[in-house]
Structure 1
Amino acid sequence: MTDEVIIEKHERVGHISLNRPKALHALTLEMCHAMSAALSEWADDDSLEAVILDHHDGRGFCAGGDIAFLRNSALNDGGVSGRKFFHDEYQLNHQMFTYGKPIVAFMDGITMGGGVGISQPCKFRVATENTRFAMPETGIGLFPDVGGGWYLSRLGGRMGQFLALTGARLDGSECLWTGLATHYVPSEMLGEIKARIIEHPDRIAGILSEPVGTPPKARIEGNADKIIKHFASDRYEDILASLEAAMGEDDWAMKERDTLGTKSPQTCKVALRQLAESAQLTDFADNMRMEYRIASRVLTRPDFAEGVRAVIVDKSNDPKWDPATPEGVTDALLDEIFAPLPEGEEWVPLK
């Protein structure tokens, strides 16, 4: 086990608290293993009725996965340890998605990447005024994984495609409006809410639904029609052309087109195809199998190491994408990224 995850049991409620504050609780492989082991143990514990998932200290909830570890793997071991990380992280994502007892995730703070992967499978997803939700992977040459294809493709109004491509950040009220959160609670009430859930785990829905004030208006609602219009196509070039056509009279379109200009063309096209294919799936395990195929290929392609260098390591924000243009990302390249893995290497959920 690891001290980066605090695992406790309060009578009828299990409590998993992320505890890596200096890294904004970004997930390591050891943290994933610790969480998975606790959930496995509690699944067979008839005295336990529910699980609380939160962060222990600092600005949370969870900023993602261990990007530095993944980049090191891409550069130094051909992606072997990185694929192991993805494999086991996805096992945790699937375990939570299929878990037989309700999990309450408190997304109080930054909830990005891997943090999305451990909050979205939960039956109850609580946002606050501190929530900052995003899937920013296209900016570092990755893609919205950890089940992102499943969750984003099932949002209405092309919202998932917009979030996947731009990496836009949503606040708590926007998460509630889009359905990414099930409830909104002011952060000052979280201690009381958690205490009441521990006391009455059979009344979680009622406790979270009691009047806690009206959340602020969701700002993104004002741009919903523009998102539907400009992000309507599953063809990346169409989205860019739609935004460009509106740039003369629409500052929002100009801003979003400029944003897309900073993203990896490869992973933007990957994300659009990922969401289109995921929307057709009926089994979450099939989605994770697809995402593991993508991750296994994208990890060692040039854009990931280069994107992390430019955005996170050097902070120069000058990535040299390869291919450099959307037109350079061919259907043949996408087919290669999405193709089945060799026999024995596919992702299979643990029983």
Structure 2
Amino acid sequence: MPLNKKSSGTGSNSSLSYGAVANQRLLAVQKRLVTPSSPSVGSPSSKDVFISSSTAADDGVVITEHASGIYEILLNRPTKLNSITFSMCDIIAENLLAWEMSEVSKVVLIKGAGEKAFCAGGDIRDLVDLELAGRHDECIDLFKKHCRLNHVVGTRRKTCLIAIMDGITMGGGVGLSINAPFRIATENTVHAMPECSIGHFPDASASFWYPRLDGYLGLYLGLTGHRLRGVDVFYAGIATHYVSSKNLNKLEDALKELVRNNGTLEQDAINAAIEQFYVDMDQEKAPMFSLGGDVYKAINRCFQHDTMEEIVVALKDEKIATTWAKETLDQLANLSPTSLKLFLQLYHAGASLSFTDCMKLEYQLTNQTLAGREFKEGARTTLITRTAPKWDPPTVETVNASDIKHTYFDTLMDKPLTLLCEGGDNKDYPFARFALPQCSEILNMAERSSDRESTIMQFIEKYNGKKGIKAKVISVLSI
């Protein structure tokens, strides 16, 4: 039975029947997985045995299963930069839930088709059309699918998820990858959360993982929508590994071989396998972290404040990273002032919330932003007229932070977010050990060490020889 039975659309009839259809498809996936239709892993005849594949061009996702226990999700909308539709959310979530309960599945690879993008985010055109037509209830019901999918991805523990972020990775594409234990960046990776440019805010669980990035780096990225490219995605801790795109096929083959030989795939074994294909940067001429050194310190100086007004003043007063400060002010000037103040409050709230509570809060805020003027204006000018938006209020000084709190945070929904699975009570980022050390940790250890080489050796020992340690330490300390 196909995994991705074609969605019946976005109208009210389809939303009414969604629960029954989704349950039917989930049961079909579970039934297929527990049916012994393939040779057992490790038997001579099971080498690279292909179990099943399902694809439908309209649904935009290809699901492939191998007898080895490695399953693949291919986002298959290359002409749309693999943006996620709502039917794709259903298909991916249903299969991840079923694989988590399967005795066969061991690891899931998720990647994008084509050469440009892993996933450029959610396909928001349906949301815009519904809101412009005054059909808000249907709009928020569709967005619920994105929230549920992100929660499913972020709470999987048995079946390990490996996201291959080869190309543009933005918005919902970030949510689909950042919650995976293993996140592979290549020279083609572009990371950004530009939602403040359309009158919305960085969502897709950004309220959980941006506050847990290094210092105030996450707040800077969320407010400005700044794009990180290539190795910077690795240095920032958004990716856990950095691999050349030309070696991705070899990496996938190595993972499949590892499962065939061992019959299992533990996280440490996955980490070691990926490390074999790491781009060698551990030398003096390694590429520098564009947000390291003086810029990293300036980010912490300027974005440590509790209000947008104070952040703007700090950027204007910045005396060291002056070029960066001017560019940042220019970026902020084009964004929705309401969105900026909204995300600033969300960032600080998310820092102390669990993963699940962050997802529920984002859904509550989205219920307000989608119905609001700023989203309609930002989406309309971005997608339809291609003109500069006219924000109202027009400046951060004219946006009342107390009104933001009352309208978005204190006004509860009649129908809060309901989830597809349990889990997500964690308040700490569960997979930090696979990423590089943070800049703050490097600077703190450098203050206690006699020299740079001593600092490098201490980190190499602490992180069990992880590839990229030396390159990042050199980049952070080369001021």
Q: What band does the TM-score fall into relative to the shorter chain?
A: over 0.9
Shift of 1:311: 2.6
The answer to whether the 8 Å contact 2:234/2:242 transfers is yes
Q: Name the aligned partner's letter for residue 65 of structure 2.
A: K
Shift of 1:179: 0.9
Partner of 1:329: 399
Partner of 1:207: 273
What's the secondary structure of 1:333's corresponding residue? helix
Which runs of 5 or more residues in structure 1 are unaligned?
none
> In the aligned structure 1, how far is the partner of 2:135 from the partner of 2:143?
14
Partner of 2:227: 169
Q: Name the aligned partner's letter for residue 112 of structure 2.
A: H
CA 1:247/1:309 → structure 2, altered by over 3 Å: closer, same or farther?
farther
The answer to whether the 8 Å contact 1:293/1:339 transfers is no
Range moving further from structure 2, 185-194 or 241-250: 241-250
Q: Percent identity?
A: 34
> In the aligned structure 2, how far is the partner of 1:213 from the partner of 1:350?
38
Shift of 1:82: 2.2
Partner of 1:294: 365
Superposed, 1:304-319 pairs within 5 Å as 304-316=375-387, 318-319=388-389
Partner of 2:155: 98
Task: Tell me, yes or no, if structure 1 residue 77 matches structure 2 residue 134.
Answer: yes
What's the secondary structure of 2:292's corresponding residue? helix
Match of 1:29 among 77, 80, 86: 86
Partner of 1:230: 302
**TM-score (structure 2 length as normaliser):** 0.70
Q: Name the aligned partner's letter for residue 278 of structure 2.
A: V
Partner of 1:349: 419
**TM-score (structure 1 length as normaliser):** 0.95
Partner of 1:6: 62
> In the aligned structure 2, how far is the partner of 1:309 from the partner of 1:19?
26
Range moving further from structure 2, 322-331 or 179-188: 322-331
Shift of 1:247: 7.9
> In the aligned structure 1, how far is the partner of 2:125 from the partner of 2:389?
17
CA 1:219/1:77 → structure 2, altered by over 3 Å: closer, same or farther?
same
Q: Name the aligned partner's letter for residue 216 of structure 2.
A: R
Shift of 1:252: 1.8
Shift of 1:214: 2.7
Q: Name the aligned partner's letter for residue 19 of structure 1.
A: N
> In the aligned structure 1, how far is the partner of 2:357 from the partner of 2:300?
27
Partner of 1:239: 311
What's the secondary structure of 1:192's corresponding residue? helix
Shift of 1:78: 3.6
Shift of 1:40: 1.9
Task: Tell me, yes or no, if structure 1 residue 132 matches structure 2 residue 132.
Answer: no
Range moving further from structure 2, 262-271 or 225-234: 225-234
Deviations 1:169-219 (A, max 9, x none): 011211111111110000000011011112224131111112533343322
The answer to whether the 8 Å contact 1:24/1:58 transfers is no
> In the aligned structure 2, how far is the partner of 1:34 from the partner of 1:137?
25
> In the aligned structure 1, how far is the partner of 2:256 from the partner of 2:137?
41
Shift of 1:47: 1.2
> In the aligned structure 1, how far is the partner of 2:141 from the partner of 2:289?
38
> In the aligned structure 2, how far is the partner of 1:50 from the partner of 1:249?
43
Shift of 1:340: 4.5
Which runs of 5 or more residues in structure 2 are unaligned?
5-55, 260-264, 282-286, 422-479
CA 1:249/1:43 → structure 2, altered by over 3 Å: closer, same or farther?
closer
Shift of 1:72: 1.1
What's the secondary structure of 2:371's corresponding residue? coil
Q: Name the aligned partner's letter for residue 315 of structure 1.
A: R
CA 1:169/1:342 → structure 2, altered by over 3 Å: closer, same or farther?
closer
Q: CA RMSD in A?
A: 1.6
Shift of 1:309: 2.1
Partner of 1:54: 111
> In the aligned structure 1, how far is the partner of 2:413 from the partner of 2:153?
27
What's the secondary structure of 1:199's corresponding residue? helix
The answer to whether the 8 Å contact 1:340/1:346 transfers is no
Tell me the number of residue pairs that the alignment of Structure 1 and Structure 2 aligns: 348
